[in-house]
Amino acid sequence: MNKAEIVIIGGGVVGASVAFHLTERGYRDVLILERANVQGTGSTGAATGGVRAQFETDINIRMSLYSLDFLKNWEFDCEYEPKGYLFFATTKDQLEYLKANTERQRELGVRGVSPVDVDAIKEIVPGLHCEDIVGGVFGKQDGFVNPLAIMRGFTEAALRNGAKIEFNCDVTSLISQQGKIIGVETSKGRIDCAGVVVCSGAWAREIAATAGINVPVEPQRRQIVWARTEEPIDPHLPMVIDIGSGFHFRPARDFRGGTFDTEREVLFAYPDPDERSGFDTDFNEGFIDKVYAHARHRAPFLADSIVLREKCRAGLYENTPDHHAILGGCDVDGLYLAVGFSGHGVMHSPATGRALAEIICDGRARFIDVSCLSLDRFNKGELLREAAFI
């Protein structure tokens, strides 16, 4: 294990995708370093598994289009369920924003997305309080996937192609010489390499700093309330999102193989404005009252639900200042970044893996131009804007 051509730091879904796509391009000496004793203990395992093409920026829409097509046609079953995403608005300005996004999404090739009026919303989500809703948009091809299944699929394929994975291996620093990566220092010793891809999520800033690179990624706890309704929920219930507050809910799925009631269990959450940056992943009981304030207003079947405290959980978002990923190289030759997804790492993992593989092999991503996601956009003041951030 003391030498590899490419080292990937982080064995979650993004790192696994990068490994897979590199091996598809012919790399064989690829080593994934995972600090835990198994994969999926970080943000991948805490993800809810939503996938959507309903974004504001062209790059997010294109990343989603590619990734959704990949997941739908992949030989590995990722449990894709096209139950849809409903964004609803409570003001005219919000509705105009959603409609403008829909027009751009259609121009870029998104299918099955359209504005919906209040009557249609009532049909899509029976029992929803719609008195203050003025309309929304619904994407039929958006839906849900199993994040752990995607991670396993990428990993298994990468290992078949010759890659290796080392568990319980914590990277403590990057080693560079004359502006070029030459290795990594780990809890198990030094590993020499010609290239490193940082896929360590919320911990990317600390790792990159050891090579003198400032990566503006901040960890932030995001919490999920898991509950059981008194009556069965609609079997076609989509992801439902209040574009104003960010409050959202969806049918629950247990990706770790536990038992759950498919007819009654739901997940709901919202981006708590009181949450500060930090690595705390303990679930805070006080969050339950906050999110139920939104639930009681929005739907009786949510208000009357029973919290399943043993299933509530928290994970980390890896936020950048503009809530877009950082993809590509940096001022240290051989050091590459695939971080800062701000909650979209799972859904964009297929596009991310291919983009990094093409950047490493060809000097740039050819299938999608991801140059707007480069690290230097922050120094240039070329930040992106995505208001539909949940």
- Whether residues 132 and 225 share a domain: the answer is yes
- Whether residues 109 and 212 share a domain: the answer is no
CATH of the domain at 24: 3.50.50.60
- Whether residues 344 and 223 share a domain: the answer is no
Other C-beta atoms lying within 10 Å of the C-beta of residue 366: 12
The answer to whether residue 62 sits within a structural domain is: no
The answer to whether residue 110 sits within a structural domain is: yes
CA distance linking residue 127 with residue 133, whole number of Å = 13
Between CA 372 and CA 379, with CA 373 as vertex, the angle to 5 degrees is 85
Position 262 scores a pLDDT of 85
Position 1 scores a pLDDT of 62
- Whether residues 230 and 314 share a domain: the answer is yes
Where among 266, 290, 319 does a domain terminate? 319
Position 173 scores a pLDDT of 98
The answer to whether residue 130 sits within a structural domain is: yes
- Whether residues 226 and 133 share a domain: the answer is yes
Closest CA to 196 of 182, 210, 206: 182
DSSP state of 35: S
Domain span at 251: 94-144+219-319
- Whether residues 367 and 338 share a domain: the answer is yes
DSSP state of 132: T
Position 7 scores a pLDDT of 98
- Whether residues 279 and 311 share a domain: the answer is yes
- Whether residues 188 and 259 share a domain: the answer is no
- Whether residues 101 and 232 share a domain: the answer is yes
Give me the residues of the chain with pLDDT under 50, please. Answer: none
Q: What whole-number percentage of the chain has pLDDT above 90? A: 95
Closest CA to 69 of 326, 347, 343: 347
The answer to whether residue 333 sits within a structural domain is: yes
- Whether residues 164 and 235 share a domain: the answer is no
Burial 21-56 (b: 16+ CB within 10 A, else e): bbbeeebebbbbbbbeeebbebbbbbbbbbbbbbbb
- Whether residues 298 and 339 share a domain: the answer is no
Q: At 352, which amino acid appears?
A: T
- Whether residues 133 and 229 share a domain: the answer is yes
The answer to whether residue 158 sits within a structural domain is: yes
Element containing residue 143 per DSSP (H, E): strand 143-144
Identify any residues that bridge with 196 across adjacent strands, giving them in sequence order.
Answer: 7, 335
**Phi, psi dihedrals of residue 92, rounded to the nearest 5°:** -65, -35
The answer to whether residue 192 sits within a structural domain is: yes
**Contact status, residue 179 vs residue 331, Cβ threshold 8 Å:** yes
Q: How many residues does the chain have?
A: 390
Position 300 scores a pLDDT of 87
**Phi, psi dihedrals of residue 14, rounded to the nearest 5°:** -70, -50
Q: Give the number of domains in the chain.
A: 2
Closest CA to 226 of 188, 201, 255: 255
Position 225 scores a pLDDT of 97
